[in-house]
């Protein structure tokens, strides 16, 4: 009997403990249900971005230094001045310049005169060549006329000039030889008269052949002179010899380069953002003078992880904010994305260049920008808060509140932003109350079966 009483007491105690535990557990569940944060599932816009930070820079920036020693004579700009490429910003006193730069002034004068002389001489030579062409052409016509109108003895007309000359030379030699024995006879001697006439005729025929040769030679000389005049004209018609011009222009460029060391010019269009030189300063080579920035285009360089780089391409929209500029969002575009990554402390990163499309005076080079690159923009898609997504048995789920019960619903996530994700498949329906902070008691109590929609 006593043993039975002990057993009954133990059973009562255990039953009471179990009841108390169940009441405590139910109270906890009720308390946690009261503290649940929910959001109604719905459709909307999703902007998927990749975030990064970087510093603003200008497209072009340059520190302009003095290229020689001397004393500053004039400074023509102040901070904030807009300048154009080639504008002279400051100059050194002529009397303070090194000897080499002073001598370059004389070299420049001489080189320019040499270039003028080349041009003038070429024009003169061209005119002379034209005159020579005219004279030589007339000489050719005259020589051709004389040759064409020269009548050779009948017996020579069908022979070439050299053949005729050879025959006439032979005939003349024979006539001289025949006349030699009788040349001292009286002039009225019949035989002497006959041989003398033959000698005279041979001499006349020989002279005729020589004259024809002279006419042909004169024509060849005239034609050669005409060709030479034409070659001279071709040489000078387009101006002086390019090699000569290049040599003189090199002298001019060298002299100008030496002289340009006496001043500083703007290398590109931009704004003077620093002036570090004043009239009267004694400067040396590489002494800094100005900083020039092209503020017409502001860029931000950001590093992107290898995981994200394939989602980025030129032309994508970018949204930017600055800690230094409250309450403003700026727009931009991706202009460049590196094709080769760099190892940064063991992680591979890619440089991406973003250009601001709506900068204002508040945005300044050197500021830190929070950059969000828009890689996807979806309209009218089913959305779920990222903080509500859980993993259960390797699957993505969200908990919903249904009939005062917290139950998991399977989902499949598509694109995501920092706050929301697109639901591309699963059991979640529009209007479901998504639990943003499902209590541990429900998760640890074992997963209830998925709600099946029918």
> Are 299 and 276 within one domain?
no
> Are 279 and 198 within one domain?
no
Number of alpha carbons in the 13 Å side-chain half-sphere of residue 300: 33
Which residue range forms the structural domain that includes residue 155? 104-245
> Are 149 and 217 within one domain?
yes
> Are 134 and 223 within one domain?
yes
> Are 119 and 238 within one domain?
yes
**Spatial distance between the Cα atoms of 233 and 430, rounded to a whole number of angstroms:** 91
Q: What is the structure's pLDDT at 66?
A: 94
Partner residues linked to 50 by β-bridges? 373
pLDDT in tens, the chain (454 residues): 555 555 655 655 566 566 655 655 555 555 555 678 888 989 998 888 889 999 999 999 999 999 999 999 999 999 999 999 999 999 999 888 888 887 877 787 887 887 787 777 777 877 887 888 888 888 888 878 877 777 766 666 676 777 777 777 788 788 788 888 877 888 888 888 888 888 778 787 787 777 777 777 888 888 898 888 888 777 777 777 778 778 878 888 888 888 888 899 999 999 999 999 999 999 999 999 999 999 989 999 999 999 999 999 999 999 999 999 999 999 999 999 999 999 989 999 999 999 999 999 999 999 999 999 998 888 999 999 988 899 888 889 999 988 888 899 999 988 887 788 889 898 899 988 899 888 764 554 444 433 333 2
> Are 123 and 223 within one domain?
yes
Q: How many domains does the chain have?
A: 3
Partner residues linked to 347 by β-bridges? 344
Q: What is the structure's pLDDT at 450?
A: 37
Residue 204 lies in a domain: yes
> Are 217 and 288 within one domain?
no
Per-residue burial over 317-332, b if 16 or more Cβ lie within 10 Å, else e, is bbbbebeebeeeebeb
> Are 159 and 176 within one domain?
yes
> Are 346 and 300 within one domain?
yes
The CATH number assigned to the domain holding 76 equals: 2.40.50.100
Residue 168 lies in a domain: yes
pTM of the model: 0.55
**Spatial distance between the Cα atoms of 111 and 246, rounded to a whole number of angstroms:** 11
Write the CB contacts of 6 (distance below 8 Å, at least 6 apart in sequence): none
> Are 173 and 306 within one domain?
no
The CATH number assigned to the domain holding 186 equals: 1.10.287
């Amino acid at each position: 009997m006593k043993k039975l009483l002990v057993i009954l007491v133990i059973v009562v105690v255990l039953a009471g403990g179990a009841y108390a535990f169940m009441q405590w557990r139910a109270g906890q569940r009720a308390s946690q249900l009261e503290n649940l944060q929910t959001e109604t599932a719905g459709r909307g816009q999703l902007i998927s971005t990749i975030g990064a930070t970087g510093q603003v820079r200008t497209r072009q920036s340059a520190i302009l230094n003095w290229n020689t020693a001397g004393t500053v004579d004039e400074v023509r700009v102040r901070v904030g001045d807009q300048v154009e490429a080639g504008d002279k910003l400051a100059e050194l006193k002529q009397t303070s310049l090194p000897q080499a730069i002073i001598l370059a002034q004389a070299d420049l004068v001489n080189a320019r005169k040499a270039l003028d002389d080349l041009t003038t001489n070429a024009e003169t030579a061209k005119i002379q060549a034209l005159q020579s062409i005219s004279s030589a052409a007339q000489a050719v016509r005259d020589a051709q006329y004389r040759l064409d109108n020269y009548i050779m003895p009948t017996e020579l007309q069908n022979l070439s000039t050299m053949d005729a000359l050879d025959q006439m030379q032979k005939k003349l030699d024979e006539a001289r030889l025949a006349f030699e024995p009788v040349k001292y006879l009286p002039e009225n001697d019949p035989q002497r008269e006959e041989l003398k006439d033959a000698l005279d005729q041979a001499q006349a025929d020989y002279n005729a052949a020589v004259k024809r040769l002279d006419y042909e030679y004169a024509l060849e000389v005239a034609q050669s002179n005409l060709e030479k005049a034409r070659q001279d004209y071709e040489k000078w018609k387009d101006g002086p010899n390019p090699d000569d011009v290049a040599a003189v222009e090199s002298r001019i460029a060298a002299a100008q380069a030496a002289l340009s060391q006496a001043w500083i010019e703007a290398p590109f269009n931009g704004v003077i953002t620093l002036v570090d030189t004043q009239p009267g300063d004694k400067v040396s080579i590489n002494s800094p003078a100005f900083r020039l920035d092209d503020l017409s285009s502001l860029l931000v360089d950001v590093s992107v992880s290898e995981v994200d780089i394939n989602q980025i391409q030129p032309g994508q929209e970018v949204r930017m904010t600055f800690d230094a500029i409250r309450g403003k969002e700026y727009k931009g575009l991706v202009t460049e994305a590196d094709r080769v990554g760099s190892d940064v402390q063991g992680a591979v990163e890619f440089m991406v260049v973003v250009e601001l499309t709506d900068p204002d005076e508040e945005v300044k080079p050197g500021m830190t920008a929070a950059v969000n690159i828009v890689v996807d923009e979806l309209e009218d898609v089913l959305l779920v808060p990222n903080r509500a997504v859980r993993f259960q048995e390797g699957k993505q789920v969200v908990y919903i509140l249904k009939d005062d019960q917290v139950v998991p619903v399977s989902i499949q996530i598509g694109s995501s932003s920092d706050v929301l994700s697109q639901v591309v498949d699963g059991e979640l329906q529009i209007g479901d109350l998504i639990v943003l902070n499902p209590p541990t008691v429900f998760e640890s109590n074992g997963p209830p079966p998925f709600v099946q929609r029918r």
